[in-house]
């Protein structure tokens, strides 16, 4: 598929054919593409948990969707359809890998102070990798959806899968062959107009009253 087409066809898919597994070599290729993502200082402080066995997927869904503190938004019918996905890739970020990497002599933040970081690059880099996997799935004729984990379930999820303390799940990708889906109500918002979002040269047009005041 041409890259333009991959970008144009990309959308979050929330229903899958439960009887059609993703071939292991295809899933492996998708995951490996993600590992080509850029990362600050080439830290690569990410980790991915790939779940294809039904019992593992069941454990994922039970550990992340059950519990009194899970808000209703996590219990909608979109999640029921998501459970049809034959593969899940949980994307996890490791902040300490970045703090360690940037304490090295070529970076020099030996105090490991998080205040140096304009934004959490560990989360950004893991997100970049997730997007590459998402696009690779589209390129393979598959569907995929990135979605978050409810905060109150994160400890339970990590415990269930033996995830080390320093890794934090930033979200999960479902991957599989597409099945008839419902359109997300969010799509009613439409794409924001380019002119509203993209600014060339200056953020705002020059304000004539400002130059008048200066004279």
Residues that bind ligand FMN (CB under 6 A): 11-12, 14, 78, 146-148, 171, 184, 186-187
Nearer to ligand FMN, 99 or 140 (CB): 140
CB of residue 103 to ligand FMN, shortest distance in Å: 29
CB of residue 14 to ligand FMN, shortest distance in Å: 6
Nearer to ligand FMN, 117 or 146 (CB): 146
Rounded distance between C-alpha atoms, residue 142 and residue 48, angstroms = 19
Rounded distance between C-alpha atoms, residue 40 and residue 94, angstroms = 12
- What is the residue whose two structure tokens read 């990708």? 173
Nearer to ligand FMN, 80 or 110 (CB): 80
Residue nearest to ligand FMN (CB): 11
- What is the residue whose two structure tokens read 């040269």? 201
Both tokens assigned to 146: 């990135």
Nearer to ligand FMN, 37 or 99 (CB): 37
* ∠ CA 169-172-177, rounded to 5°: 165
CB of residue 171 to ligand FMN, shortest distance in Å: 6
Nearer to ligand FMN, 99 or 142 (CB): 142
Rounded distance between C-alpha atoms, residue 100 and residue 166, angstroms = 12
CB of residue 19 to ligand FMN, shortest distance in Å: 23
Nearer to ligand FMN, 86 or 143 (CB): 143
CB of residue 208 to ligand FMN, shortest distance in Å: 38
Residue 177, CB-side half-sphere exposure with 13 Å CA sphere = 7
Shortest CA distance to 174 belongs to which of 101, 91, 110, 105? 91
CB of residue 110 to ligand FMN, shortest distance in Å: 32
Which contiguous run of DSSP H or E holds residue 72?
A: none
Strands lying side by side in the sheet with 143-147: 46-51, 87-94, 167-176, 143-147
């Amino acid at each position: 598929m041409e890259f333009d087409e991959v970008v144009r066809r990309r959308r979050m898919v929330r229903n899958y054919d439960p009887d059609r597994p993703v071939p292991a070599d295809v899933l492996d290729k998708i995951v490996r593409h993600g590992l080509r993502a850029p990362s600050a200082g080439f830290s690569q402080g990410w980790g991915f948990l790939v779940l294809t066995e039904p019992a593992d997927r069941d454990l994922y869904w039970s550990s992340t969707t059950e519990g009194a503190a899970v808000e209703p938004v996590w219990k909608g019918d979109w999640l029921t359809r998501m459970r049809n996905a034959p593969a899940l890739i949980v994307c996890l970020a490791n902040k300490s890998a970045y703090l360690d990497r940037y304490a090295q002599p070529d970076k020099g933040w030996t105090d490991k102070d998080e205040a140096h970081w304009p934004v959490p690059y560990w989360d950004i880099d893991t997100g970049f990798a997730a997007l590459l996997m998402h696009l690779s799935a589209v390129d393979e004729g598959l569907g995929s959806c990135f979605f978050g984990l409810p905060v109150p379930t994160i400890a339970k999820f990590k415990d269930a899968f033996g995830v080390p303390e320093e890794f934090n799940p930033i979200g999960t990708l479902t991957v599989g062959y597409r099945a008839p889906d419902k359109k997300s109500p969010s799509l009613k918002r439409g794409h924001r107009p380019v002119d509203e979002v993209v600014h060339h040269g200056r953020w705002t047009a020059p304000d004539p009253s400002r130059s008048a005041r200066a004279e």
